[in-house]
Amino acid sequence: MIGKLFHRTRKPHPPLGERPFDLLCLTVAVVLGVHAPHIPVLLSTALAATLGLRWWQRRRYGGRAPAYLKLPLVALLAAVVIFQYGNLFGREPGAALAVGLLVLKLLETESPRDARVGAAFACFTLMAALLFDQGMVATFVVALGLVPALGTLRALEPSNTPTRLDRELLPPLRLLAVSLPLALLAFVLVPRLNSPLWGAPNPAQSSTGLSDEMSPGEFSELLNDDRAAMRVSFDGSPPANAERYFRAYVLPNYDGVRWKRADMQAPPAPVLAGRSITYTVTLEANNQRVLPALDVPLQAPSQAQLGAAREVLADRPVTDVRTYTVRSALDYRLQPDLDPLERRLDLQLPPGYNPRTRELGLRWRTQHGHDDASIVRSALQLFHDGGFRYTLGPAPLGRNAMDDFLFSTHEGFCEHYASAFTVLMRAAGIPARVVTGYQGGYWSTLGNYLLLRQSDAHAWSEVWLAGSGWVRVDPTASVRADHVDQGSAGSAAASSDWSPNQWWLGLRNHWDIVNRWWNQGVIGFDTLRQHGLLTPFGLHDADAGTLGMLLAIGGSLFAVLGLAWALWQRPTTDPARAAMLLLERRLATVGVARRHNEGPQHYFSRAARALPAQRADLERLKRTYLELRYAHEQPPAELLKNFRRAARDFRPRRVVK
C-alpha cells in the first residue's frame, strides 16, 4: 500500500524531431572539426564515420542505436585514448576523450532532454579547443561553432516552426553578434587569475622551436614551419639583413653525432662593443628558457641572465608570450683572450669519426701554416666551388656524417654547412663552435617591426681568431648568398624543393600585423594590464572590488539598453495580419484567392485541398495562425516570429484542378 502511494510512473519524453537532431549532428561535426588538428587522424576519422552512420541510421530507421553497441564503443574509446597517450588525464587525452564521448552521446539521443545535454556538452568541448590555440582565427572559429549549438537549443522550443537550415542559423548568429559588446565588457572587467583555474599547461608547452641540441637534418621540419617565432621593434632604423643574426644557443660539445650546449657556470664572456642598438622583442611561447637576441647582447633583460657564451636565458621557461628589451653590439670583439680550458673544449673532436674531414683540416693547416684566416677562406671556397647544393630534402648521412656530406652527397641546409665547417676548423686547430638562432626575417613597413618565423631558424659557426676573438662565419652564405640577403625563409622559398606562391607569402606577412595586435591586445591582456586599466583616469591600481563595481554598472547599462531596444521594436501594426495578407497574395497567384466571407480555418483547409503537396505546411500555418488569434490574449513573441518567418518562406508550387 505504501509502495503504491510513493510509486510514480516516469513521464515519457516527447520524441526528438528531425531538425533538432540534424542541428545537433552539425554541432558535433563542428566540434570534431575544431579538435581534429590535435586528435590522432585514425581516431578523428573513426569518430566522423560514427557520426555519419548515426545520422544515416536515424534518418533511415529511426530510434536509438542498439544498446549492445554503446558500452563496447565507450570501452574501445577509452582504450584507444590510453594506447595513444598513456592515460586519460591531461589536455590532449582529455580533449580526445571528451570529443569521443560527445559523438557517442548521439547514439542514445532520442529526446529533447538528450539533445539539450548534448548541445551543452558540445559548447564545453568546443571551448576546450582554446586550450590548444588562442589565436584570432581559432577564437573566431570557436565562436562561430556556438551558432549550431544555439540553433539546436532554439529548435527544441515547443513553439518553434521548422524552416530552412540557413534560416535556423540566422537567429543564433544575430544573438551571438548582439552578445559581443557584453562579452567585451566581461573580458575587460572580470578580475583575472594569475594562473589558469584548471591548472592546465599552456599550449606552447608541447610546441617548441629551437633546442639546446642539434644534429644535421633536424631543422628540416622547423624550416617548413610558418608559425611566428618573435617580433622585433627597434629604437631607430633596423639593422641590415646581413646583421640580423639572433643568437639563441651556443653549442660547443660534439660527440660525432650531435652538438650540445655546455652548461658552464662562468660569467659572461667579455666583449668590446662598438656600434650598438636597442630593441624590443615579443617572443612567442615555446617552453624554452632561451631569449633570442641580436649578436651580441650586452645585458640581460629583467628575470633573465647572460650565459657564459652571451646567451640570454630566462629564469623560467617561456610558456606565455613574453616581451623584453635588449641592447646588442653590432660591431664587437667577443672574448679577445681564450683560456686554455675553453680552448680545449672548442677544439675537441671525438675519436673514430670523420677521418677524411680531419685529414682535410690537417692538410689546410700544413698548407697555410699559422694563417688561420686563410684556412677559413679555404673552407668557404670549398663550399662555394665544390658543387654543394642547398636543399631542405638532403640525402641521409651515415655514421661518418661529415665525411658523407663533404665528399659524397654535397647537399644539405644550414645545419649541415655549420656542422661541417666547425669540424673542419677544429681539425685544422682553430677553436670553433656552432650557434643556432634566427636570421633575416620580414620587415613590416606597416607595422614597423621585424617578423621572424620558425622557418627563419638558422645555424652558423663562430671561430676564434687571435686579435679578433670569436668571429661569426656563416658557411651557408657561401652556397647561397641569398640566404643572408633574404633570410632562411626567403631562400627556402626560392629553392626548387619548396616554392610557395610569392603572393601568398606577402599576404601572410601582412596578416601578421593583425596577429600581432591580437597577441598584444587580447592574449597579452593580463592581470597587470587590467589593474592599470584606469590609470588615465587617475586610478593607478584597479582592484577586484573596483572592477566588479564597473562590471555591475556596465551590465546594468546593457540591460537598460536592451529593454529600450525591445520596447522600441514593438510593432505598431498587427504583424500577424500582415503575414496573413502576404500568404493570401501568394496563394492568389496560383488560383486560391480568399473570399470575402471566408474565415481563416476554412480558407486554409480549401488551400490544402488545392495544394496537396503542401498540405502539411498549410495545416501547420493554420494551427499557428488560429493559436495566435484565439488561444492567447497577448500572442507569444516567439510564436508570432515563427508564423511570420513561415509565411515569408512559404512558396505555393501548383494547383490541382
One-letter-per-residue 3-state SS of 24-58: HHHHHHHHHHHHHHHCCHHHHHHHHHHHHHHHHHH
* pLDDT at 486 (0 to 100): 47
Residue 414 a catalytic site member: yes
Q: How confident is the model at residue 526 (pLDDT cuts 50, 70, 90)?
A: low
* pLDDT at 551 (0 to 100): 79
Grid cell locating 286? 615555446
Q: What is the dihedral of CA 106, 110, 114, 118, to 10 degrees?
A: 30
* pLDDT at 9 (0 to 100): 45
The rounded distance, in Å, linking the Cα atoms of 311 and 297 is: 8
* pLDDT at 167 (0 to 100): 76
CB atoms within 10 A of CB 296: 25
Of 114, 346, 403, 458, the catalytic one is 458
The rounded distance, in Å, linking the Cα atoms of 449 and 244 is: 13
Of 346, 414, 416, 456, the catalytic one is 414
* pLDDT at 166 (0 to 100): 73
* pLDDT at 11 (0 to 100): 52
Question: What pLDDT digit, counting tens, does each position of 303-332 carry?
Answer: 999 999 999 999 999 887 889 999 999 999
- Please, are residues 624 and 639 in contact by the beta-carbon 8 Å criterion? yes
Q: Is the pLDDT of residue 497 over 50?
A: no
Highest-scoring range by mean pLDDT, 185-189, 201-205, 283-287, 401-405:
401-405
Task: Identify the residue with better confidence: 491 or 428.
Answer: 428
The rounded distance, in Å, linking the Cα atoms of 194 and 526 is: 8
* Average pLDDT value for residue range 458-474: 94
* Average pLDDT value for residue range 198-221: 61
Q: Is the pLDDT of residue 642 over 90?
A: no
Lowest pLDDT segment from 56-70, 100-114, 500-514 = 500-514
Residue reference for cell 660534439: 254
pTM: 0.62
The rounded distance, in Å, linking the Cα atoms of 644 and 654 is: 22
Pairing of strands 411-412, 389-390: parallel
Of 372, 404, 456, 474, the catalytic one is 474
What does the mean pLDDT of the chain come to?
A: 83
Grid cell locating 297? 647582447
Residue reference for cell 621572424: 452
Question: What pLDDT digit, counting tens, does each position of 224-280 carry?
Answer: 677 888 999 999 889 998 899 999 999 999 999 899 998 877 889 999 999 999 999
Q: How confident is the model at residue 85 (pLDDT cuts 50, 70, 90)?
A: confident
Residue 25 a catalytic site member: no
Question: What pLDDT digit, counting tens, does each position of 112-134 carry?
Answer: 899 999 999 999 999 888 888 87
Per-residue b/e over 578-609, b at no fewer than 16 CB within 10 Å? ebbeebbeebeeeebebeeeeebeebbebbbe
Q: How confident is the model at residue 490 (pLDDT cuts 50, 70, 90)?
A: very low
The rounded distance, in Å, linking the Cα atoms of 189 and 1 is: 59
How many residues in total does the chain contain? 657
C-alpha pair distances (Å), 257 with each of 167, 219, 411, 550: 62, 14, 18, 61
Grid cell locating 369? 701554416
* pLDDT at 489 (0 to 100): 47
